[in-house]
Amino acid sequence: MSNEPSASLSTLPNDWWRQLSTCKILVDWFRCHLVGLFFSIQTEDHRQHVVFTGFLLYYKQILLWITAGHVIDKTREILSDRKTNVKVMRWLDCSQIPGAESIPVHNRNLQMFSATQNGIDFGAVAITGLDAENMLRNRRVEPITEQIWKDIHLAKPEGYYVIGYPEIWQDHKVELLPDNRVLHSFGATVACLPVSRIKYQGSSRANREFWNAPEAFYGQILPFVEGPEYQPESIVGMSGGPLFSVERDPLERIRYRLFGIQRSWDRDERLIRAEPIHKIIGLIKI
């Protein structure tokens, strides 16, 4: 995927992709692929709201919601727990998440796949029927196609971004109406964080579980040039989000490619680990 030619791209500084102004432009490109899965859950103790991050992908003529495998495992747990009453379940297909701008999940008997039992933190849901029709009517939604991940060996990334809905940027509000009804509202904000790829540092590190896969993508979350205060302190909730590379091509365009799926992070060092795209495409079993 690339933008229209721009004569000024060649004059940008080397850290152009780490500038907040650049990120605000690119996130508008990326968010058309991003879709969250929202749950409003009632248990005996309290009402809970949760958003899982994922993105749309066309594969073998099937519309898929791609996410981390542990997200699929948690989704199955929620739907199968008899003590949990799922009040609301919706697809969130925009950056702001009021209920009127989301799509209800009509059939909760989802076709799901998780590869966590194989040691790969990757999962998928087949979106079919009315859900797929409603989602594709939204002009702000654009599933990723093979064009964005094919020939990835030819990429010359200048930087990377991880995209998703951090839990810390999600907001639940409760309002008591005059007729004693209770209005619940929920909002979330997309985080688009610059990442620099780092070399595999071996399983001898203290966090062995994080470093136990030499073939994984490891990256350092970098602050924006303008400073770190524009980023969430925690990226919990962004698992399942896409990892995109960005580069300027010879035709003076910005190109981005899907490199992987965010799966875990090291909070102390602000490191991420992603499942590489070439490892997961052949695993889809829906």
Listing from the earlier edge strand, what are the strands of the sheet with 34-42? 102-104, 85-92, 34-42, 47-59, 62-67, 123-126, 111-114
Q: Is residue 123 domain-resident?
A: yes
Q: Is residue 2 domain-resident?
A: no
Q: What is the Cα–Cα distance from 66 to 110, expressed in whole angstroms?
A: 13
Q: Is residue 4 domain-resident?
A: no
CATH classification at residue 254: 2.40.10.120
Region of 146 on the Ramachandran plot (φ > 0 left; ψ -120 to 50 alpha; else beta): alpha
Closest CA to 71 of 151, 167, 186: 167
Question: pLDDT, tens digit, for every residue of 110-162?
Answer: 999 999 998 999 999 999 999 998 888 888 889 998 888 888 888 999 999 99
Total domains, the chain = 1
Split at pLDDT 50, 70, 90, the class of 184 is low
Q: Is residue 1 domain-resident?
A: no
Question: pLDDT, tens digit, for every residue of 35-86?
Answer: 999 999 888 878 888 999 999 998 888 899 999 999 999 999 999 998 889 9
For residue 128, the enclosing domain spans 9-283
Q: Is residue 3 domain-resident?
A: no
pTM confidence score: 0.89
pLDDT at 7: 47
Question: pLDDT, tens digit, for every residue of 75-117?
Answer: 999 999 988 899 989 998 864 445 446 888 988 999 999 999 9
Q: What is the Cα–Cα distance from 243 to 236, expressed in whole angstroms?
A: 15
Q: Is the pLDDT of residue 187 over 80?
A: no
Q: Is 235 in a helix, a strand, or coil? A: coil
Split at pLDDT 50, 70, 90, the class of 175 is low
pLDDT at 204: 63
